[in-house]
Amino acid sequence: MNKSLKIFAPATVANLSCGFDVLGCCLDTVGDEMVVSLTSEPGVTITKIEGADLPMETHKNVAGVAVEALLKSYNEAIGVNIEIYKNIKAGSGIGSSAASSAGAVWAVNHLLNNPFTKHQLVAFAMEGEKLASGNAHADNVAPALLGGFTLVRSYNPLDVIKLNTPKDLMMTVIHPQIEVKTSDSRSVIKHNVSLKKAIQQWGNVGGLVAGLFTEDYQLIGRSLEDVIIEPLRSILIPEFEAVKEAAISKGALGCGISGSGPSIFALSKGEETANIVANTIREVYNKTGLEFDIHVSKINNEGIKILSH
Ligand code: HSE
């Protein structure tokens, strides 16, 4: 059994417009690194966090609580040490907390010779999400753990389905350097939805899932529409409408808020279009005077990856 593992814990884009709390996908070039080790002293410790100001106390850290949830279901006293090297900024909307909690449970499971399935790991990692935002949503941790696109068909009981990844799909993400806390952007959402909007939304969820499986890029594009959450949250994101209009005018299939924002994602067919979309979004944001990062990534169908033993 290997005692220590260095992994890549990917960023993820949740919701994908129409699928609030149920749809998400995994990125390839953006993510954190973590070193996870089994130790002789039972219990979970976090001894290093670089790149972010996050709590080192196990019960206050998303990776710590996720691993504690896993160990509770594992009937042996195990010691785990975690080092976290953050590249994904907290409050960016590309699954920063999910990368840490999913990465930590995945690595511990691997070091223990995989006693749990990836689907079981989703439930442990959700404990980290609960700590981060007050809500145990799975639409970031599921794609981080399973790779590709995932659908949470049900939360109770938890039923997560891995979808198909059309090979030419590319993601462009802009991250304006302002922090929007998931808990804040969840507080602007209304809890009642009109039947008319619900019909539109679940039509789009079905359309997106069908489009992913049939690799029908135009259907994917038509389905990337959010009539429920986006109108309420987009006001928190500077130039959201201008970015969306510019991205679609340059050939993006669709564009929306990444997770709870402030990042904005655009899906395109092919790398060339994804880069053109990145350039046009950059032009829009250059005028704002705000700092921002732009990422272009293919969809990571594998999820978390081992960097070294
Ligand atoms: N589905 C969650 C939300 C994702 O939109 O609040 C948070 O990244």
Q: For residue range 185-200, list pLDDT tens digits in order.
A: 888 999 999 999 999 9
For residues 265-290, give the mean pLDDT: 97
Cα angle 47-53-59, degrees, rounded to a multiple of 5: 55
Q: How far is the CA of 231 from the centre of ligand 1 (A)?
A: 15
Q: Is 182 a catalytic residue?
A: yes
* pLDDT band at 124; cut points 50, 70, 90: very high
In the structure, what pLDDT confidence band is assigned to residue 184 with cuts at 50, 70 and 90? Answer: confident
> Radius of gyration over alpha carbons of the chain, in Å?
19
Asked about 172 being catalytic, the answer comes back as no
Ligand 1 center–CA 45 separation, angstroms: 28
Distance CA 303, CA 102 (A): 10
202-250 residue pLDDT tens: 999 999 999 999 999 999 999 999 999 999 999 999 999 999 999 999 9
Q: How confident is the model at residue 10 (pLDDT cuts 50, 70, 90)?
A: very high
pLDDT band at 180 (very low <50, low <70, confident <90, very high): confident
Q: In which band, very low, low, confident or very high, does the pLDDT at 21 lie, cut at 50, 70 and 90?
A: very high
Using the mean position of ligand 1's atoms as its centre, give its distance from the Cα of residue 260 in Å: 5
Q: Which helix (H) or strand (E) holds 29?
A: strand 23-39
- Cα separation, 92 vs 97, in Å, equals 10
Alpha-helix runs per DSSP H in 169-259 = 182-187, 195-214, 217-223, 230-233, 240-249
Whether residue 182 has pLDDT greater than 90: no
Q: What is the pLDDT of residue 181?
A: 85
55-79: pLDDT as tens digits: 999 999 999 999 999 999 998 999 9
Name every protein residue with a CB atom under 6 angstroms from any ligand 1 atom: 14-15, 20-21, 137, 139-140, 182, 186, 259-260
Mean pLDDT of the chain: 96
pTM for this model (two decimals): 0.96
